[in-house]
Amino acid sequence: MSWTRGIRIAAVGALLATTTTGCIKKALLDGQIKGTRDGSAAVNTLHDYEVAKVVARAGMGQLEGMHRLAPDNTNALFMLLRGWTGMTSGFTEDEYQLALEKGDDIQAEYHRSRARAGYNRAIYYGKELLAHTAEGFDQSLKNSDTINKWLNENFTDAEDAETLLWFGLAWIGRVAVSTDMPELVAELFVAKAFLERSIKLDENFSYGMAHTVLGAYHARSAMAELDESKEHFDKALAINGGKYLLTKVLMADRYYCAKHDKAGYFKLLNEVLAAPDTIPEARLQNTIAKRRARRFLGNPLWQDACGFDYKG
């Protein structure tokens, strides 16, 4: 029996070696993913829009691979949520807007479908990430009361504000490029609930971005809640001092557009173009804001939508 005991001991040794190796590999992978998340903020310091677009798109392939190797890693899930949302908003929607300006309906629809797919992918990973904290998301989507109850009961830490913000941005972004799909528009209340909960947990996060987006939400039409829109935009500007330029761009494009206030629209967009580089850690976002400001000032398409007479 001694030889069988030896086999059993060898087998146990092999199992332990495999388990230990697996744990080491997992630890190394988890460490790499954590390091990638910590270092990803460097992209926001880029000043070159075209370089940033290439970097962002290449990075998504790496993140998808990391998730494939570590499907339960929450850092990877978060980066996929944030990455697909940010890339779609900053780059894919830009290509959609360019096609609209050129009057190319075929390309516009193509890029709009790409944007919707990008937000869908962000939401897919976001739902996986949320499930690591709480089950029952799909069951909470009945109405505003049920989603707010689910969020209030399960997300109580200030650190949750970041995840809730990005999920809300993905959801509202999908609706914005799907206005021809009433079933998605009907669920706009979900984005509102996530953004409001993010504000409750940490309204200062990301330069008051949740206030900025809710400001845009409440100015979705001239018949919407423009007083609430102004309140949110004012809070965001108080938080970021007007230095986070996307706040001013969205306030011009949504609030002043909805009010048909041409003077306010032009004033804010020109302030954006004249703004110095005062937030290096948000240089890319401010670069995108300036790009959008030039577009909204220089093309009649956007001003006609606001009811302004375009002077060139």
Tell me the pLDDT tens digit for each residue of 3-59.
344 444 445 444 444 445 555 567 667 788 888 887 778 888 999 999 999 998 988
Quick one: 138 and 110 in the same domain?
yes
Q: What percent of the chain has pLDDT over 70?
A: 90
Give the predicted TM-score (pTM) of the model. 0.89
75-78: long-range pairs with CB below 8 Å, 24+:
75/30, 75/33, 75/34, 75/36, 75/37, 76/33, 77/125, 77/126, 77/128, 77/129, 77/132, 78/37, 78/129, 78/162, 78/163, 78/166
Any domain includes 247: yes
Quick one: 248 and 166 in the same domain?
no
Of 196, 211, 229, the residue at which a domain comes to its end is 196
Any domain includes 81: yes
Quick one: 209 and 91 in the same domain?
no
Any domain includes 43: no
Domain of residue 191 covers 65-196
Quick one: 69 and 192 in the same domain?
yes
Position 38 scores a pLDDT of 78
Of 162, 196, 230, the residue at which a domain comes to its end is 196
Give the closest residue to 63 by CA, choosing from 97, 96, 86, 36.
Answer: 36
Any domain includes 58: no
Position 13 scores a pLDDT of 47
Mean pLDDT across the stretch 184-197?
A: 96
Quick one: 150 and 73 in the same domain?
yes
Quick one: 211 and 283 in the same domain?
yes
| CATH code, domain carrying 128 | 1.25.40.920
What confidence tens digit (pLDDT) does each residue in 223-263 have? 889 999 999 999 999 999 999 999 999 999 999 999 999 99
Quick one: 172 and 266 in the same domain?
no
pLDDT at 83 over 80: yes
Number of structural domains in the chain: 2
Residue 173 sits at φ, ψ, to 5 deg, of -65, -40
Of 196, 216, 250, the residue at which a domain comes to its end is 196
84-to-7, 63, 171, 199 alpha-carbon distances in Å: 51, 10, 12, 22
Mean pLDDT across the stretch 191-212?
A: 97
Quick one: 187 and 212 in the same domain?
no
- If 0-12 CB within 10 Å is exposed, 13-18 middle and 19+ buried, where does residue 291 land? middle
- pLDDT grade, residue 186 (50/70/90)? very high
Any domain includes 148: yes
Mean pLDDT across the stretch 93-102?
A: 96
Range with lowest mean pLDDT among 67-76, 113-122, 268-277? 67-76
Any domain includes 174: yes
Quick one: 71 and 168 in the same domain?
yes
Quick one: 150 and 262 in the same domain?
no
